[in-house]
């Protein structure tokens, strides 16, 4: 018999509005403690100096984290003109200064060069590993760090505000792996100016938006567990772009046992039109609740991740599937 997990079998997502000056790891720990959850994780690190959307998975929702890591994101950030810093944010030491203050029109005219699939060199103060060491640790130790350019995708970039001549606010929609500090570094260079990120906020991760977000202080002010549970989003919230197929109770039972089910031809054709390019992943549901994430192969659904979630009282009780991880 396996060792019983500490905590309650709570499952779901918290769309946390992470506060300033808090690491993602500490945010997860505090949320997990508030819910007394057996396990927790997050989908996409947010720098301590950034605020905004940090999706936190509890219980069975942790099985869906990999499907949210690749989700599109939206960032809103402010550039402070006049100085470049070692870290390209306001905490770094000044490395260069300039009197150039690009106006909002000049910034808007330069942004199209950053839209599409672009080559971007990550900042040396980043968590990327170099020979097994974090780049930021090497940089802080005074070692020379060279990072290779990588292809990233930015879908849109726009100027959203210009509060004064020293600052401009920009919003971008992008794919995974984009470093805002690198965007600011390269944009300033293109405009012949010095600049750094003075404020950064993530406003969207896939289907997790500011409209769904809740602050950490608000969660901590809730007086009892039932109110905490009201803040939970369903496990399948992270799977908005994965087609769902309602299955019979008999097929649901087979999937829970790790066995495949046969699809009828019209189901196969319907799913093919809804699958993401290059993907075979389908969500199997019954009664509106997720049963399994499956791969569609040769007219069958083969379970890859199985969920056993049953409602009981005011908690979500989970029978953890030890074979699926």
CA–CA gap between residue 312 and residue 318 (Å, rounded): 10
Q: Let me know if 273 is exposed, middle or buried by CB neighbors in 10 A (0-12, 13-18, 19+).
A: exposed
Residue with token string 């029978």: 319
47: annotated active-site residue = yes
CA–CA gap between residue 210 and residue 9 (Å, rounded): 27
CA–CA gap between residue 245 and residue 202 (Å, rounded): 32
Residues found in the chain: 325
Q: Is-contact 23 50, C-beta < 8 A?
A: no
Bridge partners of residue 197, in order along the sequence = 79, 89
At 220, list the tokens: 């901590």
What Rg value do the Cα atoms of the chain yield, rounded? 23
N-terminal to C-terminal alpha carbon distance within the chain: 16
- Catalytic residue, chosen from 47, 89, 186, 251, is 47
Strands 94-97 and 83-85: antiparallel
Q: Mind telling me the catalytic residues?
A: 47
């Amino acid at each position: 018999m396996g060792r019983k997990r500490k905590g309650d079998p709570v499952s779901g997502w918290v769309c946390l509005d992470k506060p300033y000056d808090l690491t993602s790891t500490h945010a997860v720990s505090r949320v997990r403690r508030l819910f007394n959850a057996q396990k927790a994780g997050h989908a996409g690190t947010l720098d301590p100096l950034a605020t905004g959307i940090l999706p936190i998975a509890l219980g069975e929702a942790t099985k869906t984290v990999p499907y949210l890591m690749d989700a599109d994101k939206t960032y809103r950030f402010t550039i402070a003109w006049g100085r470049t810093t070692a870290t390209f944010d306001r905490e770094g030491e000044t490395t260069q200064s300039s009197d150039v203050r690009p106006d909002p029109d000049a910034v808007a005219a330069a942004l199209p060069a950053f839209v599409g699939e672009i080559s971007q060199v990550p900042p040396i103060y980043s968590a990327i590993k170099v020979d097994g060491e974090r780049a930021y640790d090497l940089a802080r130790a005074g070692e020379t760090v060279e990072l290779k350019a990588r292809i990233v995708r930015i879908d849109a970039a726009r100027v959203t505000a210009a509060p004064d001549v020293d600052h401009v606010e920009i919003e971008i929609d992008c794919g995974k792996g984009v470093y805002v500090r690198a965007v600011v570094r390269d944009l300033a260079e293109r405009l012949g100016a010095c600049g750094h990120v003075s404020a950064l906020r993530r406003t969207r991760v896939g289907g997790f938006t500011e409209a769904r977000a809740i602050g950490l202080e608000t969660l901590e002010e809730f007086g009892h567990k039932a109110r905490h549970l009201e803040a939970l989003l369903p496990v399948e919230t992270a799977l908005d772009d994965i087609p769902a197929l309602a299955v019979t109770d008999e097929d649901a039972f087979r999937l829970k046992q790790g066995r495949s089910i046969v699809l009828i031809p019209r189901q196969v054709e319907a799913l093919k039109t809804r699958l993401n390019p290059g993907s075979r992943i389908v969500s199997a549901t019954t009664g509106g609740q997720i049963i399994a994430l499956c791969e569609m192969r040769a007219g069958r659904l083969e379970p890859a991740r199985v969920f056993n979630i049953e409602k009981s009282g005011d908690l979500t009780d989970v029978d953890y599937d030890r074979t699926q991880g």
